[in-house]
Structure 1
Amino acid sequence: MNEFTIPALRPPDAALAATIQAKIDTKTKPLGALGQLEALARQVALIQQTITPVLHRPHVLVFAADHGIAAAGVSAYPADVTHQMVRNFAAGGAAINVFCRLHGLELRVVDAGVRGSFADLPAARNQKIAEGTRNFLHEPAMTPAEMHRALNLGAALVSEVHGTGCNVVGFGEMGIANTSSAAVLLHRLGGVPLADCVGRGTGLDAAGLARKHAVLAAAVAAHPAVDGTDPLAVLATFGGFEIAQLCGAMLRAAELGMVLLIDGFIASAALLVAWRLAPAVLPSCVFSHESAEGGHPHLLRVLSAQPLLRLGLRLGEGSGCALAYPLVQAAVAFFNDMASFESAGVSQVAAD
């Protein structure tokens, strides 16, 4: 087994911070008038360690996989929908396809562990670990070997994408029942009460939500030795192949100095694992939105994250990344192109 090597990440060098802030503060606007865009510009400049940041060949990577826990009735949709949606992605018909085309992002769709073959679909990259995870109500979702392979495959894909010149990458997913995995990851690794982690997923009614909570409580009780002190054990026991590949991909992207666009609840759960493994991953992360899925606000609080958008989204697919990307572009554009008081000949407010 080739074990995944956790990168020794360090936060961006803060030596440029004062210069970056001065550049922002001398733009032709009142101090702080562009609000969160100013923080975003500062973040991108620090990630890239430059006062002239650029965004090259933005990508969205969508990892898809099936989950054994779906057999316990935790989703409103049948497991076959994962396979069907990958075909929809490959055909260009999903929301993420529309948004990526609209905003000029390159989309890559990855079969991380979907039941069935996509041999007829060159657009679906084959990184299949197995035909879905096992049912973690009864046994660990994956073996350590499967988990390490998934982490390594995710990392390798980001290295490949980075090699094309890409320096900003969004992370999305697809997998029926993956909100169940994300909920337990948040509970175990974030210390959040399970009831606050469990949401309606694809649209469960009240009875379905109660059943989902009962199933996940039983699953947690079935693995008492797996706690938050060992993030990889938690990932292997309760995670999904798409979540593991996302985690590996995020860690490699941070290692390569890329800007990471984080989507909703599932992608954030993958980041939670990555953060517990290498806390310095966080400064590279732009949180695209706060999902309407019940656990996501709690997860964002655990990560001390400030999302760019609150649109009531709960789709996944990386859709929030594609919608938020124009804000990243706007932040970089004002930072690079907006006139300063000096260059524009505009008077500044007199100092007290």
Structure 2
Amino acid sequence: MTTKLLDFAVFIGRMRPVHLAHMKIIEEALEKADKLVILVGSANRPRSFVVSAFEYAEVLAMLTLLYKHHIASGRLVVMPLDDFVYDHDGWQLNTKRVVNAVVRRTLALEGRRDVDLHSLKVGLAGFGKDASSYYLNMFPEWESIQVGKQFALLSATAVRDAYFQRIPQLSDFALDPRIIEYLRDFMHTDEFAYVVREREAIEKNIREYGRGPFSASDAVITWRDHVLLVNRDGRVGYGLDAFPGGMLECGETTLQCAFRELNEETRVLDLNPGFQQTLMNSMAGYRLFDAPDRDPRGHYMSHAYHFALPDDFDAASLRMEPRSDARAVRLVPISEWGHKKAFLEHFAILRKFVPANDDVAATAGEFKAAA
């Protein structure tokens, strides 16, 4: 048996879908390491054309088609990796925590609980093809596994562009035959139709309005451990929960826009006289979210206003009715919400105003590659 250069290799990618370049990285990593940990990124994001056209379970199914025996033997471990939107440090710490957990579990199964984690050699596999590969420089304690660039021009974005349309296209230049067969079956699902319709809505929006930049306002209303959300009726993000909000109109301030959109989507100001003043008295913060890629429809900047209603506010008597592009409106326990149910990065926006208490740093620092 050939001795491997590394104890563990780590490969991070969204892999939506898994294509030949991913397979090249995986196979070279398996040649150099005893075991490979594949972390499937954006595992906590809802299905959407740009970020997560396939959910984690579907990516896992593709990887299982390709590497069934490696997974069964324990040489290859696949794990979900959540996005930490607007929190690179949190994402980095959580990535280390996930890897640590896999390593500890693997050693326990092998009866090697007494192994010093710091003595293990770990490498990070991949190649820096574009801005999405920035993470390769975030783990200097892990060795770098340089992978050949035979497929450097191949990207999952190009594969999705060809696939998610009314007449899908699949190429054996980009995809293994087993993945092509999987995607042909996937064409007949409601999930495929959802992504195609969302893509068409995004492209229609860009044709009609351009890519911006545009200004919008969002009303982030919290009460105790609840947040006020509308359930979207639009083709982009249909069925996801969002803050009441919308586009800035000529002649109004961003705060006026937030109140107007709040009332248009919930009628809460019309139905509850004096509630706007209650909100003004409860204003707890303002932040601008202007990342150019936060919205697939273009460069939409969100002026987010946080209103923290007092604990003694009578939320049960608050009258609301969904209107405009809202299917429903309700106060939702924050603990029951999350990225998976949120439109765009709205849950991350909430967490900028109402931080979570989770501490991902506790187990992140205990495992480093040996020098």
Task: Specify the TM-score bucket, using the shorter chain as the normaliser.
Answer: under 0.3
TM-score by length of 1: 0.23
Which of these two proteins has the greater Rg computed from alpha carbons?
2
Q: Which has the higher strand share?
A: 2
TM-score by length of 2: 0.22
